[in-house]
Structure 1
Amino acid sequence: MVASFSNGLSGAEPRAGRRNLKGDMREQAILECAYEALRKEPMRTISIDRLAKGAGLSRSSFYFYFESKWQVLSALLSSVTDDVFIASSMIFDRPEGISPEAAIEHAVSEVVDVWERHGHVLREVGDAAAAEPALQAQWDRILGRFIDAAAAAIERDRSAGVALDGPPARALAAALMWMGERNLGLMTMRSANAIPVDEIVETTTTVWLRTVFGLEYRGGSARS
């Protein structure tokens, strides 16, 4: 069962007067129908009639909630990437007493789990973004949020003497985040060039530790 998609369209405010409990349930039904349909086929072949029917609505009722099927994909993207951001939180805001290794290792494991659940949506965004400028702009904003959060964490650790000096924090964060994004995308496409799932945690944690902290990965032994 898909999680509740309640965060709206690309972070936009809901249209005045249209939100109520029944409306939220109908919007949720459209999103759930699209989420499941995308497991089997791309959005370009999924009709609005199908999404409306799958949600128990008429075609005209669909347009009360979404202007297009691409706006449905936008809403799914917002919700899925919120889950990815939460999964990454130990990288961005490491709890006191948790080592960099333990925090990064945990975050990478969580992100991989989330990506494996929602990868069919993220794969579709990657395919559709080139033809949908608004979707591409949304994806860029989302990646910017991740990069900014990682850069702030690197700057905090540098100020505390925990992280190494080096390239500008945002440039370094961008390199690390794009590395992760590209590999997860390849994993979703089942590319032979993706890092195998059973090697992602060790590989990604090693890169982060060496690059940001000058530390070696000890295979999950560091917990303090």
Structure 2
Amino acid sequence: MPSVTRRPQAKRQERREQIERQLLDATDRLMGAGASFTELSVDRLATEAGISRASFYIYFEDKGHLLRQLTGQVFSDLANGAERWWSVAHRRDPADVRVAMTAIIASYRRHQPLLVALNEMSAYDPLVGSTYTEILAGISARVTAIIEQGQAQGTIRQELPPESTATTLTWMVERSCQQNLPGRPDSYDAELANALTQIIWGALYLEAP
């Protein structure tokens, strides 16, 4: 017999995820139009997202709590892009790396104003900073597993320390997008995707791309 409480809990979680996505889209739009996150009021965010102020406070303590949750949403999008390589890494095809880098750059481009705000706020908000670091650590752990698998198969350089290599590559992609995309036209994205592909492939694999 199904649990009586499980269904309401599941519905509440679905509703929370829906509201988070609406708020992420609303924040992207407002910041893309020139607003800074610090000047956005809860009322303005809620109105743009199509929810009530009361609904906002059911799920979030304040804007800082919202920002930490949005961090997870944004990096989930980035990880989904990276999966286009991770999930087929056994094929050892540089085209898969390029597809992943292209998807990651597109996500950075889409969420660029919010990511800039996250980067700035992480420097002086300990909770935002720890959330940001923990999520990137999770991505690094996934890359570590790819490196260890490739080393076991003899396709990735044995002399590379998996964890520190994964961390370096993860932060390289993050910093490259953060520093290079603002102010650059969309036409630059393909150039950056190609550069990151060449660097990652050359660093990890024994064969040329």
TM-score (norm 2): 0.81
Report the Cα distance in structure 2 between the residues aligned to 1:55 and 1:158, rounded to whole angstroms: 46
Q: CA distance change for structure 1 residues 199 and 65 in 2, over 3 Å: closer, same or farther?
A: same
Structure 1 residues 175-202: Cα deviation after superposition (integer angstroms, max 9, x where no partner) = 11111110100133327xxxx4232122
On the 8 A contact 2:173/2:196 being kept in 1, the answer is yes
Report the Cα distance in structure 1 between the residues aligned to 2:189 and 2:84, rounded to whole angstroms: 20
Q: 1:50 corresponds to which letter in structure 2?
A: R
Is structure 2 residue 37 aligned with structure 1 residue 43?
A: yes
Is structure 2 residue 122 aligned with structure 1 residue 137?
A: no
Q: Superposition pairs for residues 47-62 of structure 1, below 5 Å?
A: 47-55=41-49, 59-62=53-56
On the 8 A contact 1:123/1:185 being kept in 2, the answer is yes
On the 8 A contact 2:20/2:70 being kept in 1, the answer is no
Report the Cα distance in structure 2 between the residues aligned to 1:20 and 1:156, rounded to whole angstroms: 35
Report the Cα distance in structure 1 between the residues aligned to 2:86 and 2:180, rounded to whole angstroms: 23
Aligned length: 198
Report the Cα distance in structure 1 between the residues aligned to 2:146 and 2:36, rounded to whole angstroms: 36
Report the Cα distance in structure 2 between the residues aligned to 1:23 and 1:210, rounded to whole angstroms: 42
**Divergent runs of 4+, >6 A:** 20-24
* Match for residue 210 of structure 1 among 196, 202, 209: 202
* Match for residue 102 of structure 1 among 95, 99, 112: 95
Q: CA distance change for structure 1 residues 116 and 31 in 2, over 3 Å: closer, same or farther?
A: closer
Q: CA distance change for structure 1 residues 117 and 52 in 2, over 3 Å: closer, same or farther?
A: closer
Q: CA distance change for structure 1 residues 69 and 164 in 2, over 3 Å: closer, same or farther?
A: same
Matching residue of 1:5: none
Three-state SS of the structure 2 residue aligned to 1:190 is: coil
Q: 2:70 corresponds to which letter in structure 1?
A: L
Report the Cα distance in structure 2 between the residues aligned to 1:155 and 1:20, rounded to whole angstroms: 35
Matching residue of 1:85: 79
Report the Cα distance in structure 2 between the residues aligned to 1:23 and 1:173, rounded to whole angstroms: 32
Report the Cα distance in structure 1 between the residues aligned to 2:82 and 2:14, rounded to whole angstroms: 31
Q: 1:117 corresponds to which letter in structure 2?
A: R
Matching residue of 2:168: 175
Which protein is richer in helix relative to its size? 2
Report the Cα distance in structure 2 between the residues aligned to 1:20 and 1:171, rounded to whole angstroms: 36
Q: 1:52 corresponds to which letter in structure 2?
A: A
Q: Which runs of 5+ in 2 are unaligned?
A: 1-8
Report the Cα distance in structure 1 between the residues aligned to 2:100 and 2:50, rounded to whole angstroms: 38
* 1:152, distance to aligned residue in structure 2 (A): 0.6
What is the identity percentage for the equivalent residue pairs of Structure 1 and Structure 2? 23
Report the Cα distance in structure 2 between the residues aligned to 1:56 and 1:90, rounded to whole angstroms: 32
On the 8 A contact 1:151/1:169 being kept in 2, the answer is yes
Matching residue of 2:121: 128
CA RMSD of aligned residues (A): 2.7
Structure 1 residues 139-174: Cα deviation after superposition (integer angstroms, max 9, x where no partner) = 111100111110110010000011111231010111
